Chain A
Amino acid sequence: MMNQYDVVVIGGGAGGMSSALGAYQNGAKKVLLVERDIELGGILQQCIHNGFGLHHYKEELTGPAYAERLKQELMDTEIDIKLQTTVLKITKDKEVHMMNEKDGYQVIQAKAIIASNGCRERTRHQIDIPGKRLSGIMTAGLAQRYLNIDGYLVGKKVLILGSGDIGLIMARRMTLEGAKVLGVAEIMPYSNGLNRNIVQCLHDYDIPLYLSHTIAKVSGNDRLEQVTLSEVDEKFQMKEGTNKTFEVDTLLLSVGLIPDNKLLTDISVKMNPITNGAYVNDKYQTNIEGIFACGNSLHVHDLVDYVSEESYEAGKNAANYVLHQNKVKQNIINVKSSDHIHYVIPNQIMLDNKNVAFKFRVTKPMEKALIMIKQGNKIVIEIKKRHLLPAEMENVKVNKKVFKYDDDISIEVKGV
């Protein structure tokens, strides 16, 4: 007889731990959490900086401390945990095929599966940096892991491409450990990182931020020796005569994160091409019944607190699905993003009296904006915002009672 579980959670980071807790605390009896690393915590373990937990724990924590708190909550439950275990595939019938050194190849039958297996960094090869394959060019998150977990400083003179938060955090971290960070280059005319990180990671250490700049050339023999930056115009074409050359041994890339969803795409779960995550309804359920998605494999979050909140809900919904098999098929309406909204989660909602959290990002920085949640062409909710940034995910909670029709919902924003 195959080993059976109510809920199997794939991934032991913030999303996985929170969704396992959500499932267990809402009635799922047999819950299994599967993690491929040697311990729980996921990416939090290498994010040693502070700024986590202000919403969820009402205090400011470091990444490892946030993971520690979640782990402590898990230890008070009877959730089974398998470490150093890789999930090879899942099936539409909710079999989980996994492998580790001790159990070998194992197949587990789940009633519900939650995919919370995070994201990966975009690499050099996905952004076409010209030049040789030199050592010393790597993603910012990899350098962070080497430094904060393994204790290796990957270089002494550093340039960073991309002003996402990981790049900014690493600019400060490498500086504190004795490296010289010569600058951060960003192809967009604005930074993609949080203001707080621009100030406390760059301004505090006089590290220049080169906006509207990208890499024209990398050179060296085996190790990186020089990086040439060029200014770009509004069409991202390099401008002649704007080259600046930096003598560096290291180039860190902080150029975006891509949700890791091979387990879901292998079984043809419907995906959203903008987020690279699954299409989900407001239960965080994919188009395959009983398969849920949350955390950074659903969409990339800027705050772990939101990962926890969303994933706990996903776990709770998975438990409800297992306990009640509540297959609500009627009154499902689509949610669409429209003018200046990059994407919105969820993609579908079920009409009932409960609350829904719409999460979305704008496509460009905006001052004095009006967010409109419409049903058909009727404006249901209007929210004034003094400022909106692509780097900050908006999170608007709405009671679904306000949606009285069967028309699609759209979220729009305009300047006022």
Chain B
Amino acid sequence: MFKKEMTCIVCPRGCILTVTKKDGDYQVEGNLCKRGINYGIKEVINPVRQVTSTVKIEDSIHPRLPVVTDKEISKDLIFEVMDEINKVTLKAPIHYRDIIIKNICGTDVNIIASRSMDHI
């Protein structure tokens, strides 16, 4: 039987949830409110995260540009996304929300600039 423990992050209380799978149905225990059920099941079926990092940039005030995924991506892809991000070198100027890498790792998620960075 599948069983997983986790801390719920929907609110600051942080209920300790136990998610089990019986006969194809997921069950959540330990939640004090209904929102914990959705969170628990989602974390088991398809946990997703936003990824933030930096890429190299030349001719700008700083040598690194902060970037972020424009949507959440599967948690399993985080390290592959990091590998792709680390291959890039940009040249300033870059504008806030410019697409840095389109459809990263074959997903429909783009890596975009977190800020503008002027040419110097």
Contacts and interface: CB of A to CB of B under 8 A. Distances in A.
Nearest to B96: A68
B3 interface: no
A391 B12 CA distance: 9
A112 B8 CA distance: 46
Interface stretch (A146-154, A160-168, A179-187): A146-154
A356 interface: no
Contacts, number: 78
A62 B66 contact: yes
B6 A48 contact: no
B7 A64 contact: no
B7 A203 contact: yes
Given A65-B115, A68-B115, A386-B32, A195 B9 contact: yes
B110 interface: no
B10 to A, nearest CB: 9
Contact of A151 (B13, B49, B54): B54
Given A64-B115, A65-B115, A176-B53, A200 B64 contact: no
A62 B68 CA distance: 8
Size bracket, chain A contacts: 20 to 34
A302 to B, nearest CB: 10
B63 interface: yes
Contacts of B102: none
Contact of B75 (A151, A176, A198, A204): A204
A63 B68 CA distance: 11
Contact of B13 (A62, A63, A64, A387): A387
A245 B54 CA distance: 33
A386 B53 contact: no
Interface string A19-57: 000000000000000000011000001001110000000
Contacts of B82: 176-177
Contacts of B14: 195, 198
B7 A151 contact: no
Contacts of A39: 61
Contacts of B50: 50, 60
Interface in B62-120: 62-64, 66, 68, 75, 78-79, 82, 96, 114-116
Nearest to A392: B12
B77 to A, nearest CB: 12
Contacts of A62: 52, 66, 68, 114
Interface centre among B62, B68, B115 (most CB of A within 10 A): B115
19 contacts: A45-B66, A48-B52, A48-B114, A50-B52, A60-B50, A62-B66, A64-B66, A65-B96, A150-B63, A151-B54, A151-B56, A195-B9, A195-B12, A195-B14, A198-B14, A200-B9, A203-B7, A386-B13, A389-B12
Interface of B: 6-7, 9, 12-14, 32, 49-54, 56, 61-64, 66, 68, 75, 78-79, 82, 96, 114-116
Interface of A: 38-39, 45, 48-50, 60, 62-65, 67-68, 147-151, 176-177, 194-196, 198-200, 203-204, 386-387, 389, 391-392
